[in-house]
A and B are shown apart, each in its own frame.
Chain A
Amino acid sequence: MSEILLLLLSTALVNNVVLIKFLGLCPVMGVSKSVDSALGMGLATTFVLMLASAASWMLDNWLLQPLGLGYLRILTFILVIASVVQFTEMFVKKTSPGLYQSLGIYLPLITTNCAVLGVALLNVQQQFSLFKSLLYGFGSALGFTLVLLIFAGLRERVALARVPAAFAGAPVAFITISLLALAFMGFSGLNV
């Protein structure tokens, strides 16, 4: 039990996928203008990450390793992730057209979200069991969603502030997220 908690905490906070590992920065900058769409993006990414973790573990353990095809790993993972994203896109379009519209190009771009591929590859590297892979995927997704939400909330506040013209828009967003990253560095001293 404590191991599960440890894994979740360390993936979500200590080794946060966005702010510590610097993976998946594209949607963090792109879909953080409002908390609502940030939440939608976080949930979609969580969904993809979980499915991709499970699918890639099965592929690796039941197909690639028995056949000695480790060199096809990245290729097959990308294939699986792309399919999962395609499926997610159809699902979101069907269930929530508004969210689909507001996520726009960033939804299909989850395919190239390096956080997803990164987590799948890290799972293999660390030789996790299926359950732990899922947990690792979930923890990472939790961390991703958390950062996306915090950052979107901050940007909503910053949008109300009187930012000097030279800093308005992307520059102040970068400053904000770098400060956020500094704050998350504090978790590295966490003694769980």
Chain B
Amino acid sequence: MGFMNLFKHVLGDDWGVHPDDHKRPAADRPVRVMPVPARLYLPLQQHLGGPARPVVLVGQSVKKGELIAEAQGAVSAPIHAPTSGTIAAVTEITAPHPSGLTLQAIILEADGLDEWQELSGCDDPFALDPAEIGKRVAAAGVVGLGGAAFPSAVKLTGASRSKVTTLVMNGGECEPYLSCDDRQMRDSAAGIVDGIRIMLHATGAKVALVGIEDNKPEAIAAMQAAAAGVANVEIRPVPARYPMGSEKQLIQVLTGKEVPADGRAFDIGVVVHNVGTALAVRAAIREGKPLISRVVTVNGNCAANPGNIEVRVGTLAEEVIAFAGGLKGDGLGLARRVMGGPMMGMQIPHWRVPVVKGSSGILAFDAAEVAEQEPNPCIRCGSCVKACPMGLLPLEMSARIRNEAYDDAIGLGLKDCIACGCCAYVCPSKIPLVQFFVHAKGELAAQDRAKLRNDATKKLALQRQDRLAREAREKAEAAAKRKAEREAAAVAKAAATAAAGQGEVV
């Protein structure tokens, strides 16, 4: 360990890992545009938050860009037809998710015309009210294209409401193998800068800091050239290190501020967007085009011809791979299918899952890349502690989670874990640490749901008991009343007969 390394270690500034990035040659090849496939599979939930609600009927024909499912709830995003055609079905399809479970999707049969609906763009977005921009972005179904797919409009309007000062643009693309952001920054730098300016206007931030990892010199050069005349957009190269593209890490490197443990970026006056999202925002505002396509990286040792491909949302991964050039040896050496990045992406069960708005990559790994190994016992080397970008103790947390002591794990900071996978990557014993944390978070969420449910049903049970008691009381009261009436009537009758009897006597 050299002196500088020691210094960094003492400062706690040597977080993260340096995986071999495998970005080239895919990043150096131009983006290919894939033709519209015969059928598109559009899941109703392509974003974080509530699923969208279909607003079309089976058999209905739609134009390209037409709304087919509307947002539902505060955090949600609508879905638009990526091409013109007919709605074939609304049914369950395999989700791009490691569980292999299904989710509701609209199946669209393309008619081959690819005919846009009437679009209403805006020539001068800077004359628009920021709230209006937020509305238009929401209506265009734009979500974060970095991978988490958080509805962008929610962040834009939230940022202007909480008065953020800095817009951080995430061009880190720290995940190995992926190069879709890199490619877009090289090809459409001017468009991205325009999008950033629109977003600055929408959020009310003073300055935009574009963080780009220094392993993408071409992208940095292109972006610097495009931002040359723009005063409040700064291009900032950052060291290439995983997970530099994680929100909290990028904010700290670019602004020096740290997001508090249970807070959000808003709390320190920062909002983070992906550079690809800037392009989508620009298209939504300038041209009125909804988000219906994205650039996806096809990569991995098994991909015959790696590269970046612009595909319509809803295209099956199978068809994207076929268009890209198929798999080497017809996929004989295929060991793992991944959607998204290799570190945080989803392992998928088969290729017949659709590309959604948040899919950044389709990766076909062979056995050498997966390097699957049986885990060995923890040797307490502390590599994971050093690698953790959040400064947590993965080995301690996983030991507690193994014993189901989830509360202790929370005490050690489980809720701050960003599931980046650095710990599992460096672990010499190949312990699936990040799986422990994802499991524990899921388990805790399930327990929270169970608790909420328990409280709700308890309320119901108490209400029922109250109701039964009230009914019994009312019944008793009614019975008493009837009895009293009967007795009164009997008394009156007796009196009447007595009076009548007396009358007879008289």
Identify the A interface with B (CB < 8 A). 159-162
Contact = CB atoms under 8 A, between A and B. Distances in A.
B377 interface: yes
B403 A162 contact: no
8 contacts: A159-B403, A160-B399, A160-B400, A160-B402, A160-B403, A160-B405, A161-B399, A162-B377
A159 B405 CA distance: 10
B21 to A, nearest CB: 36
A162 B395 CA distance: 13
Contacts of A162: 377
Interface in B382-406: 399-400, 402-403, 405
Interface in B104-122: none
Given A159-B403, A160-B399, A162-B377, 5 more contacts: A160-B400, A160-B402, A160-B403, A160-B405, A161-B399
A160 B399 CA distance: 6
A124 B400 CA distance: 48
A160 to B, nearest CB: 4
Contacts of A159: 403
Contacts of A161: 399
B80 to A, nearest CB: 51
B398 to A, nearest CB: 10
Nearest to B395: A160
Nearest to A161: B399
Contacts of B400: 160
Contacts of A160: 399-400, 402-403, 405
Nearest to B396: A160
Find the residue from A159, A160, A162 having the highest chain B CB count within 10 A: A160
Q: Which 8 residue pairs are nearest across A and B when measured between Cβ atoms?
A: A160-B399, A160-B403, A162-B377, A160-B400, A159-B403, A160-B402, A161-B399, A160-B405
B393 to A, nearest CB: 12
A137 to B, nearest CB: 35
Interface string B397-436: 0011011010000000000000000000000000000000
Nearest to A157: B399
A97 B36 CA distance: 69
Contacts of B399: 160-161
A162 B375 CA distance: 14
A160 B404 CA distance: 10
B125 to A, nearest CB: 56
B405 to A, nearest CB: 8
A12 to B, nearest CB: 30
A100 to B, nearest CB: 22
Nearest to A159: B403
A131 to B, nearest CB: 43
B400 to A, nearest CB: 6
Which of B377, B399, B400, B402 lies at the interface centre, i.e. has the most chain A CB atoms within 10 A of its CB?
Answer: B399
A37 to B, nearest CB: 15
A178 B442 CA distance: 40
A2 to B, nearest CB: 42
Contacts of B377: 162
A162 B398 CA distance: 12
B101 to A, nearest CB: 32
B429 to A, nearest CB: 12
A163 to B, nearest CB: 12
A172 to B, nearest CB: 15
Contacts of B405: 160
B397 to A, nearest CB: 11
A162 B403 CA distance: 10
Interface string B224-249: 00000000000000000000000000
A159 B403 CA distance: 8
A160 B402 CA distance: 8
A162 B377 CA distance: 8
Contacts of B403: 159-160
A108 B345 CA distance: 57
A161 B400 CA distance: 10
B467 to A, nearest CB: 33
Contacts of B402: 160
A160 B398 CA distance: 10
A160 B380 CA distance: 13
Nearest to B377: A162
B154 to A, nearest CB: 40
A160 B405 CA distance: 9
A92 to B, nearest CB: 24
A139 to B, nearest CB: 33
B32 to A, nearest CB: 51
Nearest to B398: A160
Interface in B318-354: none
A160 B393 CA distance: 14
A160 B412 CA distance: 14
A71 B402 CA distance: 57
A161 B399 CA distance: 8
B406 to A, nearest CB: 13
A161 B405 CA distance: 13
B402 to A, nearest CB: 8
A162 B400 CA distance: 12
B84 to A, nearest CB: 60
A162 B376 CA distance: 12
A162 to B, nearest CB: 6
A162 B402 CA distance: 10
A173 B430 CA distance: 30
B399 to A, nearest CB: 4
A98 to B, nearest CB: 16
B62 to A, nearest CB: 57
B500 to A, nearest CB: 73
A152 B377 CA distance: 24
B265 to A, nearest CB: 34
Interface in B344-385: 377
A159 B399 CA distance: 9
A97 to B, nearest CB: 21
A153 to B, nearest CB: 13
A62 B364 CA distance: 89
A192 B403 CA distance: 44
Nearest to B378: A162
B232 to A, nearest CB: 51
